[in-house]
Amino acid sequence: MSQYLCHDFKTPRTDMSRRLPGSMRVVPIFFYAVALATAFFVFNDMRALQQAEQDRLAAIARKDEYLAAKTTLDSEKTTIDAELFRAEAVAKWVEGTRVLQPITVAIARAVPLETNITELNLERSADLPAQVSMLVRLNNSTLAEVAKIESSVNRLHYRSFSPSQAKQGDLIEFRSMLVWQEH
């Protein structure tokens, strides 16, 4: 009975539109599917963009934090370096301050008994403690004693710079700059 269609004799219309075939329903369905997919991807991308922006701001904040920490560390390092430089200078100075007594002993032992040491002057440079200005005046001596003095000082790891000797009769004056040599 469902196939029964009631008759109709109304005035026919000429502008009546025919319905589209059912298969064409895929067009709006596809449209809505694409629209939904687009909205989904746009929404996802917007969320990702927002997340990326937040991540970027967080990264910038972290970077600023690290830069501040680096600056602090750099200033601390600079301070430490300055301290270290000063400490090294002090250490070098302290290292340079060798005991002078072995030099006097070595000089005394280097000269024979008949030779008199009339004057022995060891003067340490205040700025360069490793350098010691030596002045030895010998009476009744020869230049051979000077060579002995120089070799005995060398054995104490002092190197002689700018040695000079002056002889006036039996008096010999020997000047030299002794510099401590590291091993």
The residues binding other proteins (CB under 8 A) are 1, 4-13, 16-20, 22, 24-25, 27-28, 31-32
Nearer to other proteins, 31 or 66 (CB): 31
Of 15 and 127, nearer to other proteins (C-beta) is 15
Q: What is the 3-state secondary structure (H, E, C) of the chain?
A: CCCCCCCCCCCCCCCCCCCCCHHHHHHHHHHHHHHHHHHHHHHHHHHHHHHHHHHHHHHHHHHHHHHHHHHHHHHHHHHHHHHHHHHHHHHHHHHHCCCCHHHHHHHHHHCCCCCEEEEEEEEECCCCCCEEEEEEEEECCCHHHHHHHHHHHHHCCEEEEEEEEEEECCEEEEEEEEEECCC
CB of 42 to other proteins, least distance (A): 19
Cβ proximity to other proteins: between 8 and 127 the closer is: 8
